[in-house]
Amino acid sequence: MIPNRLPRLRRAARLLALAPLLLAAGCQGRPRAETDESAPKLTASGHVAVVDLTRGAPESTAEGGLFPLPAPQTFVGLVRTLQSLSSDRDATAVFVTLGEARLGFAQSAEIGRLLAAVRDAGKSVVCHTHQIDNSSSWLLQHGCSEIWLSPAGDASTVGIAAQLSYLKGTFDRLGIEADMLAMGRYKSGAEPLTREGPSEPSAENLTATLRSIRDAWLDAVGKARQGRGATDAERQELLDALEDGPWTPTAARERKIADRVVFPDEALGAAKAAGRVDTEKVVFGRGAENGKAVGLAEIIRVLSGADRRSGGRPRIAVVPAVGSITMTSEGLLSEGITARATVRTLARLREDPAVKAVVVRMDSPGGSPLASDLIWREIMRLRKEKPVIASVGGMAASGGYYIVAAANEIVAERSSIVGSIGVFGGKLVLEQALSNVGIQSVVFPASPAPGAAARAAYLSPLVPWDDATRDKVRAQMESIYELFLARVAEGRGMDVEKVRASAEGAIFTATTGKERGLVDELGGLARALERARELGKVDADAPVVVEGPADNLLEVLLLGEGAEASEVEEALARFRERQAARLAGIPQWEQLRPFAAAIAPLLTGEPVVAALPYAIDVR
């Protein structure tokens, strides 16, 4: 079971209208459910278990906004819920609704497997969605008995591709110089700023990774289709259609991308008919029970950490590590994995005797090398006391891989991205651009020594580096790169030179990463939890607790633990205003935020970052 650590908090947050939710979703399908016209005889008891993915399956409790989500409403909760449905005698059928939600490939693959296990247990799994995209088709084809698509929906299965923009031409016209350095021939983070197109190594590596993801996607869908008795010709017809969209609902049905074109209520009715019941129960998502409401005083007490438990029943702790890696959570772009909060959480788990194993659920493009190194160190300390399993979601790239390399074992989905072992950094120089409009900048160093001005202003965007300063920055990068290699080698128990062969900034899918020793096992969060139970020697029914590594609300609002309710309310109002102003007019911010945040350390005084060189959002 998943203990609901903040149920009362969440209900109270809703009553106060203080916690907007940021979510996304997905679903799957295949075999056929009975329709109402078959007039099945209803059973005396039981219900249809409703899995509502219309608002997604957040990896972290922190994705609930200012107040944490209840643990059962995270991806960990979803995994545990789906695992329980196979043996739940009261759940005679399952209805999965996706709406317009979008899930990444890693989540879709795991949800599909878990739904397939429910279906194989003899229960009909009816799935309905308003749209089908590349990743949701993986889930639907693998896990569902039947796929239902809305009459005005669409099937945007168009294949996988990447599109990068290169800004050098624009910078040249504006007089902006990108003074950038990188360690590793594949570490191409600076290329969009310094080139008019990709280098050959960069294009080669990205193309190989995309093709590996494509192979995993089509292979999984093809096997799922073949497992239901499809001929080789029918299987190939579906695979071709998945890369030849977009399709209308009717065309999608004709090509077996969907089975029926109906409304959600009709799909739910079919699930009830298949389960021979006339009632439903929401087991995940909107409408699922999450506890009772409490007052603001209780919220303050909980958020200040006063009710964190220690001791008690043996359990497994899951630490979500999602987003960019920074030192602290100061500022909009610093949301995600912060060294201060994460190290504190890991240290607490190390000292808690009831926590028998820890799963670090990673989905990050990287960020600050300093923050990554501090978290790596704390995981190395933790694993001396109890097993640590890393579960990779969408990616563990650069700084993200730096961190998971410290775990005892790394489990990742076939489509997960790992590696990007390398660093890059630099600055944009505006000297010529300002000069073009009559603005001149002069540095006045306090020291009379030669080169003092260049050294003192080396982070300034108003002057370029001289050769001596550039050489020192390069030496700094080389030092961090070599430390990165050494940390991975120590954590993985590998020779440094073997790590170097998979470094230089190259990215890989987990399938290739396993061949190179970067991943131990292919699988999802469910498998990582299973390994944690095995290594931690705990029972299969041991509780799984979702930890909250982010800074608590009082710290974000710069308030002390004794803050009055009125002070909290005023601070929350100011915070919401700042957030709304910063996000206004930024298209697709939720998809781009982790990648923008990963390079934010360059704007806050760190000259080097360990981050994925471009934004990858595979769907």
To the nearest 10°, the Cα dihedral for 513, 26, 323, 373?
Answer: -30
Name the CA radius of gyration of the chain, rounded: 25
Neighbours of 346 (CB within 10 A): 23
Give the per-residue pLDDT at 607. 54
pLDDT tens, 16-75? 333 332 223 333 334 444 444 444 556 558 999 999 999 999 998 877 555 667 888 999
Taking residues 574-591, report their average pLDDT.
Answer: 52
Asked if pLDDT for residue 475 goes beyond 90, the answer is yes
Write the DSSP symbol of residue 38.
G
Give the per-residue pLDDT at 430. 93
End-to-end alpha carbon distance in the chain: 30
Q: What is the DSSP string of 339-354?
A: HHHHHHHHHHHHH-TT
Give the per-residue pLDDT at 394. 95
- How many angstroms separate the CA atoms of 423 and 563, rounded? 42
Cα distances from 573 to residues 13, 14, 374, 569, in angstroms, run 14, 15, 33, 6
Sign of CA dihedral 195, 196, 199, 202: positive
Give the 3-state DSSP-derived string for 505-549, with helices as H, strands as E and coil as C.
Answer: CCEEEHHHHHHCCCCCEECCHHHHHHHHHHHHCCCCCCCEEECCC
Closest alpha carbon to 480 in 373, 375, 598, 604: 373
pLDDT tens, 207-228? 999 999 999 999 999 999 888 7
Nearest-10 crossing angle of helices 525-536, 75-85: 80
Asked if pLDDT for residue 108 goes beyond 90, the answer is yes
Closest alpha carbon to 274 in 47, 502, 98: 47
pLDDT interval class at 565 (50, 70, 90)? low
pLDDT tens, 242-297? 999 999 999 999 999 999 999 999 999 999 999 999 999 999 998 887 544 444 44
| CA angle (31 as vertex; 29, 33 as ends), nearest 5 | 100
- How many angstroms separate the CA atoms of 532 and 363, rounded? 19
- Taking all residues of the chain, what is their mean pLDDT, rounded to a whole number? 83
What does the longest C-alpha to C-alpha distance in the chain come to? 94
Better-predicted residue by pLDDT, 608 or 529: 529
Q: Beta partners for 217?
A: none
Strands 608-611 and 521-522: unpaired
- How many angstroms separate the CA atoms of 194 and 171, rounded? 9
Give the per-residue pLDDT at 69. 76
Give the per-residue pLDDT at 43. 59
pLDDT interval class at 594 (50, 70, 90)? low
- Could you give all domains of the chain from N- to C-terminal order, each with its CATH number? 7-151+259-284 (3.90.226), 308-422+473-552+596-611 (3.90.226.10)
Nearest-10 crossing angle of helices 105-120, 134-143: 10
Taking residues 93-114, report their average pLDDT.
Answer: 96
Better-predicted residue by pLDDT, 68 or 7: 68
Give the per-residue pLDDT at 303. 44
Contact indicator for 115, 28 with CB cutoff of 8 Å: yes
